[in-house]
Amino acid sequence: MHGTLSNRPAATGFFLTFEGGEGAGKSTQITRLADKLRARGHDVVVTREPGGSPGAEAVRHVLLSGAAEPFGPKMEAILFAAARSDHVEQVIRPAVERGAIVLCDRFFDSTRVYQGVTGELDPAFVQALEDVTVNGIVPDMTLILDVDPQLGLARAVARRGQGVADRFEKETLAIHQRRREAYLAIAEAEPDRCIVIDASGEPEEVETVVTAAVFAALEARAPMPTAASANV
């Protein structure tokens, strides 16, 4: 297990992250899952990276426009970390502490994969940066939506329409393939946290698998506060 849980209070909510390559369908699945959880009365916070808090959103533009690209992956990793630190302290930690379920579109695995593996950074540097950034806030569960990059990129292009590919989307198929392998390696190394989900099917099929995995994990835990009880 990476990171330390020492800054995490004993009675908490549930922190769930979604990861995967371009066009894996994370945002669709997060929206659908949030609706189902809310219908069951849970307090649900949906957020994303890079961004999710005003400070992090300010950094998002610098990263996705490619403005930081000329300065190299180390610079980008530190900027992603700066955005994440703000997001953790302003949004994720308070939500988890009050007992909410937090659904986050990308988190530290994206930095490990995009900057660490395909940016070829020293793993010790990436780990040290991660530890200070998350300061004990480690996902309870990470769903890795796995899709062949060729299919994922085709979906991303269809979604984008006439828009321009962002800094990371425009990279070569070989790089996206390495990222897919890096995600699968993380899942293998951390089977207690990570579940790999085949995301090549229709959204409804993927949703069935996501829902089953999340509900099973929630049921295995102590009873969660519902929105009604959390607000009293």
Q: Which is nearer to ligand TYD, 30 or 96 (CB)?
A: 30
Contacting residue, 14, 33, 49, 194, with ligand TYD by CB under 6 A: 49
19 contacts ligand TYD (rule: CB under 6 A)? no
**Cα angle: 204, vertex 205, 207; to 5 degrees:** 60
Query: Which residue reads 């390559």 in tokens?
Result: 21
Judged by CB under 6 A, the number of residues near ligand TYD is 14
Instruction: Count CB neighbours of 189 within 10 A.
Output: 11
**Residues 153 and 169: beta-carbon distance below 8 Å:** yes
Query: Which residue reads 């569960």 in tokens?
Result: 141
15 contacts ligand TYD (rule: CB under 6 A)? no
Q: Which is nearer to ligand TYD, 14 or 168 (CB)?
A: 168
25 contacts ligand TYD (rule: CB under 6 A)? no
Site for ligand TYD in 187-226 (CB under 6 A): none
Using DSSP, state whether 65 is helix, strand or coil. Answer: coil
Burial of 155 (0-12, 13-18, 19+ CB in 10 A): middle
Task: In angstroms, give the least distance from the CB of 60 to ligand TYD.
Answer: 8
106 contacts ligand TYD (rule: CB under 6 A)? yes
50 contacts ligand TYD (rule: CB under 6 A)? yes
Q: Which residue stretch of 92-100, 111-119, 135-143, 202-210 sits at the interface with ligand TYD (rule: CB under 6 A)?
A: 111-119
Q: Which of 14, 98, 90, 100 is nearest to 54 (CA)?
A: 90
Both structure tokens of 142: 């990470």
142 contacts ligand TYD (rule: CB under 6 A)? no
Q: Which residues contact 229 (CB under 8 A, 6 or more apart)?
A: none
183 contacts ligand TYD (rule: CB under 6 A)? no
What is the contact surface with ligand TYD in residues (CB under 6 A)? Answer: 22, 49-50, 64, 80, 105-106, 110-111, 114-115, 166, 168-169
